[in-house]
A and B are shown apart, each in its own frame.
Chain A
Amino acid sequence: MRPIIEVRNLSKCYSFDKRVMAHLNLREAIVKAFKSPVERLSGRMAVRDMKFWALQDISFEVEQGEVLGIVGRNGAGKSTLLKILSRIVKPTIGEVDIYGRAGSLLEIGTGFHPELTGSENVFLNGTIIGMKREEIKNKFDEIVAFAGVEQFLDVPIKYYSSGMYLRLAFAVAAHLEPDILILDEVMAVGDAAFQQKCQMKMKEISSEGRTVIFVSHDLMSVKNLCSRALLIESGKLQKMGDVESVISTYLLNISRGAVV
């Protein structure tokens, strides 16, 4: 059977080269245009360009209906991987083929506007994360009930409490129903009851046969939800396999403080 996601030799390099630095201004660009031939000849360029490989040669496959957890330390490259899978960032090397509609939630409430009302934001945010207008219309009552903000639908969300805001944001996100769902720590918000609701929703999604990829620092939820896990250390894929063994390797890494 064909995997739903194929990742082949994926690498991402961020070059802190003067050419692509954010604070590069026009004057520097002009000066550099004159200077660069000289520097290129004298070989000084190489010294100044700093390259950082956020991901190196990652290859894996995800089967349909699988819930894949990605674990790793801060800065290991998990988010970069998700951003490439979500098409936000382009890889430097490598390819990904995705056989289905993918939706990603790297954050909840993206594009929420404080001046707009709850219901207006549901439509706006829903469209931003990739839902069709019809789809939002059909699920609107469900979304509102899930968030529990029925009475405040016509109130600008700048008056919402942070809890209401989060619930509404998550409610919209939870009703995105792509074939493949890519999640980044979105469940790390809210109180215990809310987190439980999120986990229930995740279980529901995966029981429907959807594929889920998610990054989490919460090893318990990885254990509970995932059928397989993947460990990234310093941009490299260190281990992939059943959840228990990946997590134990991860914990071992941390206790040793080792960088692989």
Chain B
Amino acid sequence: MINEQASTIGTPLQEDSLVKANSSRLHPILPDEPAIKIRPESAPVSTNLHDVWAHRELLYFLIWRDLKVRYKQAILGVAWMILQPLMMALVFAVFMGKLAHVPSDGVPYAVFAYAGLLPWLFFSNSVASGSHSVAGNSYVIAKTYFPLLVLPITVVGVRLVDFLIAFSVLVGLMVYYGIHVTWNILVLPVFIAEITLLALAISIWFSALHARYRDVGAVLPVLLQLWMFLSPIIYSVNLVPQNWRLLYSLNPVSGIIEGFRASLFGLKFNWTSFCISVVITLATLVYAVYDFCRKQDTLVDVI
């Protein structure tokens, strides 16, 4: 179809006198290589990542905007970020700790639950809002160019700030219950980094899916609920039968939560599950970024 058109139109380029008159003006010398190349095929992942880096100021401003707007609108502001994990920890402490006497690795159950809920809520809130990030910004995407990867990254960035705010309560709880930190605490940043990367991976992956299949929005809450119970959030990993452990640790969240608690409460690290979770997290992230870059060019046409 397109070839027929080409022959009838021909090349419409005709140098006319106006252009020549204009070009006589002094202009800076143009570079040899085009600064922007627009091609039908997708750009390689490396170009995309480079582009995200070039837009880091935008990323910063979008995170700043979301935080600012949230804290401006809500009177309780910061308190909300603390209340969600705190209320949940309280509820679980009553039902699981007091009534069901779920063992909690020798740590008071309330602290134990809060230490699990904190990274879990960071993860699940990131994924829940991150998956909407592309579809929810369709009006901006249709009007300005910027690398779309910035959108899910922004969401995770905002949630990371929430996480750090809520973390202060954990410190308070540990002081209150008189839990002493050990040298294990030095490894804690590794687990925070890992849960951040995992949250990024799943958010990026699902944001591309969600933009195309709106059903993802309906499926995701159920999936996250299931995922929570398949992770050692409100119970200890020690409740899982030994011969199921390996299968259980295929869920990268389990290794992270385990490590998170171990570094906080000075428990023994489980290096096997840690290594498995790192491998799975990184593999998921690589796949998600690759998948996103492959899909993003058609996203604008469908959202």
Contacts and interface: CB of A to CB of B under 8 A. Distances in A.
A106 B27 CA distance: 26
Nearest to A22: B302
B133 to A, nearest CB: 14
Contact of B65 (A25, A87, A107, A113): A113
Interface in B254-303: 297-298, 300-303
A29 B11 CA distance: 41
Interface size range on A against B: 35 or more
A185 B57 CA distance: 28
A2 B30 contact: yes
A128 B146 contact: yes
Nearest to A131: B57
B36 interface: yes
Interface string B124-157: 0000000000000000111111100000000000
Contact of B301 (A20, A24, A57, A120): A20
Nearest to B212: A24
A123 B73 CA distance: 20
A237 B9 contact: yes
Interface stretch (B17-25, B164-172, B179-187): B17-25
A102 B145 CA distance: 11
B6 A9 contact: yes
Interface in B1-33: 1-2, 5-6, 9, 11-14, 16-19, 22-23, 25-28, 30-31
B241 interface: no
A60 B213 contact: no
A4 interface: yes
Given A20-B302, A116-B65, A64 B215 contact: no
Contacts of A63: 19, 22-23
Contact of B13 (A24, A60, A65): A60
A14 B34 CA distance: 27
B50 interface: no
A95 B40 CA distance: 7
Nearest to A210: B27
Interface string B60-81: 0100010011001100000000
Contacts of B35: 98-102
B58 A128 contact: yes
Contacts of A53: 1-2
A154 to B, nearest CB: 12
B5 A227 contact: no
Interface of A: 1-2, 4, 6, 9, 11, 14, 20-27, 29, 51, 53, 56-57, 59-61, 63-66, 83-102, 104, 106-107, 110-111, 113, 115-116, 120, 123-124, 127-130, 132-133, 156, 209, 227-228, 236-242
7 contacts: A26-B219, A60-B12, A60-B13, A63-B19, A92-B40, A94-B40, A95-B38
